[in-house]
A and B are shown apart, each in its own frame.
Chain A
Amino acid sequence: MGNGDMAGYEAQKPEELKPAGNVLELLDRILDKGIVIVGDIRISVADIELLKIQIRLLISSVDKAKELGIDFEWAKSIEQTKTKEDLQKKVDELESLLYGQKPGTKPESATELSGKSEDSTDTTDTTDSAEPANSNTGSEE
């Protein structure tokens, strides 16, 4: 928790990444949530999804590479990727590495088990009083 010690900010080395879970959790929160107010300058929404995938792939690859048997150096090369097309290509490649499947086939339990059941089943509980406003980020775009 914050203790007002701001002096260390600039000195903070980029290598000191928090564990993947924490960084993803942080980015999920501060990129998507919070007061929906449009500043004169802001992060463009179109990029946020890609960013999260990029960061997730990089960071989770640090944590998961060994256990999934993926070459970590390869995952790190994503960092140098600049264009969306390149990035998407990398994502596709990494996915196929992760799941060892041909392009076009869905990864086994990733989307089907967790994703779908969530959409169709949980709407009653999740939104009992909250409007889904917050998750629709930056619809002003």
Chain B
Amino acid sequence: MSLIYCYGVIHESDTFNSKITGFEEQEVYSIEFKDVKAVVSNVSEENFSQEVIDKNIKDMRWLTKNAQVHEKIIDSIMDSTNILPMKFCTIFEASENIIVMLEEKYADLKYNLNNLKDKVEMGVKVYFDSTPIKQRIINCDEEIKCLEQEAKEKKPGAAYFVKQKIDILLKDKLEKELFTQRKTLFQELKQQSIDSKQNDLISKKVTGKDMLLNAVFLIGKGNAKDFRGSIEQKKIDVKNMDLEVYGPFPPYNFIR
């Protein structure tokens, strides 16, 4: 028995390149309900049963490789049409089940297809270097300067507590500074977008860097290059910050 891997949903009138093949080199085809179509391909139980997926998902090489295949297929479909992308490994046991799904979600799917037509998503991740920002605060902040002077004049024991106070104050001021910078930058970037959203910051233990902003932007299909260009320019303009731009992607983050 073969299973059906679902990549996403498109509008009935939209077509995609029929030469696209899916996982296991199988033909990509569509299953219709009213005027929406699920874009699918057949996959084997051998590779995609729940049991096998549960097992393989722990294999990072498998996950990384197949995640990239999933994306590449969706990208290929996106080249010629508008697709609402499914999550990785959304698989059905029979075409009837897909039709039931399309029927149940019909209103949502229609809304999103209309709302996101000819739009793409761009991601921007911004990292910062906290050292120069901290240094600037230390150099400029009167309150901290006063405390530093106080610490110098006191005996070591008492100075220790003053230094602790300085640390807490510095951390607080750094957070405020970062909040302001994040807000300003996000406001500025979102000017160029139709819609925008901030995702959770990814912690330093994951990236090795301090993240200031993790945002996604909804852009007209034709404006993706300009958007990328403006981020690249911004990257040159700003100090102590590193901007990374990703995309264009199907609008994963803007499906409601």
Q: How far is the CA of A24 from the CA of B92 in the complex (A)?
A: 26
A34 in contact with B210 given A43-B57, A125-B186, A131-B256 (CB within 8 Å): no
CB closest chain-B residue, reference A10? B25
CB closest chain-B residue, reference A134? B253
Query: Is the Cβ of B85 less than 8 Å from the Cβ of A79?
Result: no
Q: Does B158 contact A (CB under 8 A)?
A: no
Contacts of A115 in B (CB 8 A): 201, 203
Q: How far is the CA of A31 from the CA of B203 in the complex (A)?
A: 18
Query: Is the Cβ of B206 less than 8 Å from the Cβ of A33?
Result: no
Query: Is the Cβ of B90 less than 8 Å from the Cβ of A54?
Result: no
The listed residue (A43, A51, A58, A60) touching B208 by CB distance below 8 A is A60
Shortest CB-to-CB span from A125 to chain B, Å, is 6
Stretch from B70-78, B149-157, B231-239 that touches the partner: B70-78
Contacts of B12 in A (CB 8 A): none
Interface string of B106-144 (1 = CB under 8 A from A): 000100100000000001010000100000000000000
CB closest chain-A residue, reference B108? A35
CB closest chain-B residue, reference A108? B204
The listed residue (B63, B74, B210) touching A51 by CB distance below 8 A is B63
Query: Is the Cβ of B174 less than 8 Å from the Cβ of A113?
Result: yes
Contacts of B65 in A (CB 8 A): 12, 14
Q: Does A56 contact B (CB under 8 A)?
A: yes
The listed residue (A2, A42, A109, A112) touching B91 by CB distance below 8 A is A42
Within residues 144 to 194 of chain B, which ones have a CB less than 8 A from any CB in chain A? 171, 174-175, 178-179, 182-183, 186-187
**Closest 6 pairs between A and B when the two form their complex, measured CB to CB:** A2-B75, A2-B76, A33-B252, A110-B204, A126-B198, A41-B91
Q: A39-B90, A41-B91 are in contact. List 18 more A-B contacts (CB 8 A).
A: A2-B74, A2-B76, A3-B76, A4-B17, A18-B68, A20-B207, A27-B63, A35-B87, A35-B112, A36-B255, A37-B105, A41-B49, A41-B93, A44-B57, A79-B61, A99-B205, A110-B203, A113-B171
